[in-house]
Chains A and B, each alone.
Chain A
Amino acid sequence: MLTDITLGQYFPGHSFLHKLDPRAKIMATMIFIIAIFFAESLPAYGVVTAFVVLNFVVSRLPLKLIVKSLKPLWIIIVFTMGIHIFTTPGIVLWQYGFISITKEGVYQGSLMTARLVYLIIFSSLLTYTTSPIVLTDGIEHILNPFRRIGVPAHELAMMMTIALRFIPTLLEETDRIMKAQTARGANFTSGSILQRGKNMIPLLVPLFVSAFRRADELATAMEARCYRGGEGRTRMNELSYTYRDGIAMAAIVLVTGILIWMRWFI
């Protein structure tokens, strides 16, 4: 059923990664994503692998979650692998007509695939260990300095928060309307594509009506509580850095430093 879908990717827990400040986590993730591209040699990849594994262990997430995060992107992963294997010139390992696999291709392809997989895993660790609301809060803080050049940081964050807040509500609503129409004999699961599209009308019309109604009610409720944008707004839960964030940032800087050193000074 629809309500079985967990919102976002958040997997509740109390690990070191879960307790980090979202700002630190977002920035660390961005730095590491860039740092991954510094890695070119096998030893450098060893460092990246070790760091990703370390983070995974510290996060105390089940391994199947990580596998799940890679699943939707397997086509891209296979495609990357294929492009490199078949198009890199070098020592031919295997040939059939104009198709050939080269040693360099396999090497290059494996590294590129590893890079991609690490990127996905690392950013998944961020979304798995940070609840969407906290994540939005962090994004707002990071965007704040850019307000001067016209980035509506608060408004963006507020929109994201509201959208996130209403995803479960609308899913629940969808589930309910679907059940109500199913009880009246509607069929959402079989028939041709055209027929199925037509069958969605009894679901979509009430869903849109209710979404607009909710939006309207929410706007009124916010105005009734004197909401008028982010200017001068304080918050109930202030974000604050702890020693953990210091450790995390130090680790990221250290790893990035090592990768830069391996790239240009060895």
Chain B
Amino acid sequence: MSIQLENVSYTYGVGTPFEKTALRNVTMEISSGDFVGIIGHTGSGKSTLVQMLNGLLHPTMGQVTVNGMDIRQKSKAAMDMRHKVGMVFQYPEYQLFEETVAKDIAFGPRNMGLTEEEIEQRVKEAMEFVHLDYEEYGNRSPFRLSGGQMRRVAIAGVIAIHPEYLILDEPSAGLDPVGREEIFSEVQRWHEEKNITVILVSHNMEDISRLANRLIVLDHSEIILDGEPLEIFAKQQDLLHRAGVSVPPVTEVLQYLQGRGLPVEDRVRTVEEAAASIYAGVRGNTHAH
């Protein structure tokens, strides 16, 4: 089970003076169970890439298959397959439209043709996932919630479809640190418990290094790096800088210390691990003296 891209290219505005290639000859595979981070500076083709994964955009050239099914087809099976790829857009709260939170979350399941009981079941489960109380918030208007709560309702609306693959495009943009932490810990829990494949598009290297087990770096419409995040951060700083992205702050600090001669391990994901690494390094250093 995987999403496969074969020699995929995408060009906007073909045949107009505003023609622009957003993706050039991309071949990759996202396997079931992965937690993939995608980074790249603005305009590198990230958004175009993820929109191809569930058929919102069809490649100008090449082919996208989900679990072996070409999603360009118009057949019922291909449409159903597209529902297996859930997509949370940037600022998803701007897509809310229903009178109540529960109805809005039910939009996806209802379009899938589920029974009323199943729909209610899924709405409750999705709201639980985003930490919103069904009794308290279910009947409220989504437009009267705070920004963070609206974001959670929107994410719940995608979760309720029960996607096998979940694409998140900058899910933490504009959220406070607490809201960000909550959303990421829930996504991670879902990834682990239900074995959901997560594709996270982000500018925040810290989030990606903490969560993802695979990192894809885009630059000028092409994939320039693809591999284990810590490996990339440790070895490919030059390429990363050329692509206009930087290593996470913790890695940067540790690499600076290394440069100054302190023997610290720079392959760490969190601040805690970094602290431990520095501590070990300093101790090792004093022992040596």
What residue of chain B has the Cβ atom nearest to residue A186's Cβ? Answer: B111
Q: Is the CB of B17 within 8 A of A179?
A: no
Q: Is the CB of B94 within 8 A of A209?
A: yes
Q: Is the CB of A183 within 8 A of B54?
A: yes
Residues of A within 8 A of B229 (CB): none
How far is B56's CA from A173's CA once the two chains are assembled, in angstroms?
Answer: 15
Residues of B within 8 A of A54 (CB): none
What residue of chain A has the Cβ atom nearest to residue B143's Cβ? Answer: A209
Chain A: minimal CB distance from B160 (Å): 9
Which residue of the partner chain, among B16, B111, B157, contacts A187 with CB atoms under 8 Å?
A: B111
Asked if A141 CB lies within 8 Å of chain B CBs, one says no
What residue of chain B has the Cβ atom nearest to residue A181's Cβ? Answer: B95
Q: Is the CB of B97 within 8 A of A205?
A: yes
Q: Is the CB of A186 within 8 A of B89?
A: no
What residue of chain A has the Cβ atom nearest to residue B109's Cβ? Answer: A185
Q: Is the CB of B158 within 8 A of A183?
A: yes
Given A3-B12, A4-B13, A11-B17, verify A183-B87 contact (CB < 8 Å). yes
Interface centre among A182, A184, A204, A206 (most CB of B within 10 A): A184
How far is B58's CA from A1's CA once the two chains are assembled, in angstroms?
Answer: 10
Asked if A237 CB lies within 8 Å of chain B CBs, one says no
Q: Range of interface residues on chain B?
A: 20 to 34
Asked if B161 CB lies within 8 Å of chain A CBs, one says yes
Chain A: minimal CB distance from B216 (Å): 21
Residue ranges of A at the interface with B (Cβ–Cβ < 8 Å):
1, 3-4, 6, 11-12, 173, 176-177, 179-187, 201-206, 209-210
Q: Is the CB of B89 within 8 A of A184?
A: no
Q: Is the CB of A182 within 8 A of B97?
A: no
Q: Is the CB of A185 within 8 A of B108?
A: yes
For chain B residues 1-42, which have a beta carbon within 8 Å of chain A?
A: 12-13, 16-18
Q: Is the CB of B56 within 8 A of A12?
A: no
Q: Is the CB of A206 within 8 A of B94?
A: yes
Q: Is the CB of B87 within 8 A of A180?
A: yes
For chain B residues 78-96, which have a beta carbon within 8 Å of chain A?
A: 83, 85-87, 89, 92, 94-96
Chain A: minimal CB distance from B114 (Å): 10
Q: Is the CB of A184 within 8 A of B111?
A: yes
Return the 4 tightest CB-CB contacts between A and B, nearest first. A185-B111, A205-B97, A184-B108, A180-B95
Interface centre among A180, A203, A204 (most CB of B within 10 A): A180
How far is B89's CA from A12's CA once the two chains are assembled, in angstroms?
Answer: 32
Residues of B within 8 A of A206 (CB): 94-97
Not counting A179-B87, A209-B143, a sample of 9 additional A-B residue pairs whose C-beta atoms are within 8 angstroms of each other reads: A3-B12, A176-B89, A180-B89, A183-B54, A185-B107, A206-B94, A206-B97, A209-B94, A210-B94
User: 27 A-B Cβ contacts within 8 A?
Assistant: A3-B13, A4-B12, A4-B13, A6-B16, A12-B17, A179-B87, A180-B87, A181-B95, A181-B107, A183-B54, A183-B85, A183-B86, A183-B87, A183-B158, A184-B108, A184-B111, A184-B158, A185-B111, A185-B161, A186-B107, A187-B111, A201-B97, A202-B107, A204-B97, A206-B95, A209-B143, A210-B94
Which residue of the partner chain, among A4, A12, A187, A202, contacts B97 with CB atoms under 8 Å?
A: A202
Which residue of the partner chain, among B51, B83, B157, B161, contacts A179 with CB atoms under 8 Å?
A: B51
How far is B18's CA from A12's CA once the two chains are assembled, in angstroms?
Answer: 10
Which residue of the partner chain, among A11, A177, A183, contacts B94 with CB atoms under 8 Å?
A: A177
Interface centre among B16, B56, B86, B161 (most CB of A within 10 A): B56
